[in-house]
Structure 1
């Protein structure tokens, strides 16, 4: 089977790239990490105007009722540009958890959500800015109060302990919601890995050493080719898992996608740092934003161990 994005999906990705390339995302990321959400919320509103927040919301609540493939297209671009905020919780997970009028606020971009679902999602992302905080317990959904803020390797991922409160209902389909969280996280990892590869290739064609560009040395070419190969192997798994959103093999496919995207992004981060050398360690260089983002997303919505174990069980 040959899978290709539709022309509408390609145009959507191009529109997202064009919008995000014109915004001061680095400033928004730094402000978000410092607890100043104004610039990041401006980015949120801009993306909501393009329909990103409405993707998974049913049409009856003002959403687009889009497919998982559309979600993956959007989240690859969010990962490529390292957009801060609880995008997975709000756009991908919550619409699968709830069937409620609160989704109208999600669709318009007015409501931000933060979700904790132990043991795989033990801490709540951006709970201090969230309008809706949901704690997923066995067979029940509760509101929660943010507790102690924790330190993340990615400063823009503000994690909080949770104090569950009143029950607000039952989860509509938690397994599906969890898989959407893992799938969109995998898409973010793909986007981040692609940015790391693109940036490393560009740097290798400019940086000169011993009288020639370092990208002309065979050792550098092989390193970058390894990253490109990993990406090309991971992307079909992520897109394939999105296509199989209603398939009985969804859990297996999502875990395979998350594990492959994790491997590709981790390799892209490691090779990107090798290619850039010492400058990649500096806080001033944008490479650092992707390195820490990748390291944080590797464990988000299921660690590699969790997904490889689940994949093995599904195959067995």
Structure 2
């Protein structure tokens, strides 16, 4: 039995990589990382023209009618190019809207609704943070909200354990993280109305974590490719360093670490698409596995580059830091494993 991407899925990924090769070239990422709004707008326009917002919206609602496996293929390509994008927020919104049977799907596909994510309260609690809900009004603040720039609405996790769709709050304060390819905010809510409230189902949480795993997969693959290319051209003692046994072993070990993660991510996405009960379990395990494999690959790829790996000339740090933030985003590997254990009945 062959389990691989379909021809359409390979074409989708290759086409997107072609767009990102120009719109998210390393020079463009450097500009975006220092706050160049024109570069960020150009990338956003290129991705909008590609039609990513419609990916998970049913055809009857004006979308492409694709599923979780297609979404992880897209997110992997975005991670490979460390491209800032609201795709993750849009895909999670599409997943939630389909599950709850709302009529916001058409607006999501057309760009009439652009969603941010304020889901931190689902995974961690901090003093002074949290969104309370009273009479369908949201109050409080959320830390590390994503994709808030230009968002018309936000998916916000309340202390009632539900996810609320509300107008994007105006009180936004940038929160600095090591990852300069994405902007996170502290979002302050002061009575924004909830127009939709849905349960944070295990499937939704698993899908969100699976997208993060796919992003790490793409970033880790990029770091391997860069390490192999560097080893094939960098010379020491009159020969390329890729001919040294130790460097060969480092590159082989990175590849060996990555491939199980790719299979796990594809299998989890397929299971979510088909409604298989093991889908959420596999998605949580994929998040946990890629968090740790990605960390190993990021460190090893940097070591292959030697001292050059720490310079901005090579730019490895953009991928390294993206993987580092992804490790904790939507829950640590320990939290993801615990969720998988609960779903299987191994933990209370």
Superposed, 1:1-316 pairs within 5 Å as 1-90=1-90, 92-98=91-97, 99-109=101-111, 111-117=113-119, 118-120=121-123, 122-137=143-158, 138-143=161-166, 144-145=168-169, 146-164=171-189, 165-171=192-198, 174-245=201-272, 246-315=275-344, 316=346
Return closer, same or farther for 1:81/1:111 CA change in 2, 3 Å cut-off: farther
2:130 aligns with none
Q: In structure 2, what is the Cα distance between the partners aligned to 1:181 and 1:270?
A: 25
1:149 shift after superposition: 1.8
Q: In structure 1, what is the Cα distance between the partners aligned to 2:34 and 2:93?
A: 26
Q: In structure 2, what is the Cα distance between the partners aligned to 1:231 and 1:110?
A: 38
Deviations 1:86-125, CA, capped at 9 Å, x for gaps:
32112x2111223545433432356432111213275211
1:64 is paired with a residue of what secondary structure? coil
1:288 shift after superposition: 1.4
Name which of structure 1's ranges 224-233 and 255-264 shifts more when overlaid on structure 2: 255-264
Q: In structure 1, what is the Cα distance between the partners aligned to 2:45 and 2:334?
A: 36
1:56 shift after superposition: 0.9
Q: In structure 1, what is the Cα distance between the partners aligned to 2:33 and 2:62?
A: 31
Return closer, same or farther for 1:111/1:166 CA change in 2, 3 Å cut-off: closer
2:336 is paired with a residue of what secondary structure? helix
Return closer, same or farther for 1:120/1:107 CA change in 2, 3 Å cut-off: same
1:46 shift after superposition: 2.1
Name which of structure 1's ranges 1-10 and 25-34 shifts more when overlaid on structure 2: 25-34
1:251 shift after superposition: 1.8
Q: In structure 1, what is the Cα distance between the partners aligned to 2:113 and 2:313?
A: 32
1:68 shift after superposition: 1.1
Q: In structure 1, what is the Cα distance between the partners aligned to 2:292 and 2:162?
A: 33
Name which of structure 1's ranges 12-21 and 205-214 shifts more when overlaid on structure 2: 12-21
Name which of structure 1's ranges 73-82 and 37-46 shifts more when overlaid on structure 2: 37-46
Provide the TM-score with structure 1 as the length reference: 0.92
Conservation of the 8 A alpha-carbon contact between 1:78 and 1:188: yes
Conservation of the 8 A alpha-carbon contact between 2:281 and 2:343: yes
Conservation of the 8 A alpha-carbon contact between 2:295 and 2:324: yes
Provide the TM-score with structure 2 as the length reference: 0.84
Conservation of the 8 A alpha-carbon contact between 2:162 and 2:199: no
Deviations 1:122-141, CA, capped at 9 Å, x for gaps:
52113233222221222351
1:27 shift after superposition: 4.1
Return closer, same or farther for 1:110/1:168 CA change in 2, 3 Å cut-off: closer
Q: In structure 1, what is the Cα distance between the partners aligned to 2:112 and 2:48?
A: 9
Task: List runs of 5+ in structure 1 lacking aligned partners.
Answer: none
1:276 shift after superposition: 0.7
1:129 is paired with a residue of what secondary structure? coil
Q: In structure 2, what is the Cα distance between the partners aligned to 1:83 and 1:283?
A: 17
Q: In structure 2, what is the Cα distance between the partners aligned to 1:80 and 1:136?
A: 29
Q: In structure 2, what is the Cα distance between the partners aligned to 1:12 and 1:280?
A: 31
1:226 is paired with a residue of what secondary structure? helix
2:198 is paired with a residue of what secondary structure? coil
Structure number with greater Rg is: 2
Indicate the RMSD between aligned Cα atoms, in angstroms.
Answer: 2.1
1:127 is paired with a residue of what secondary structure? coil
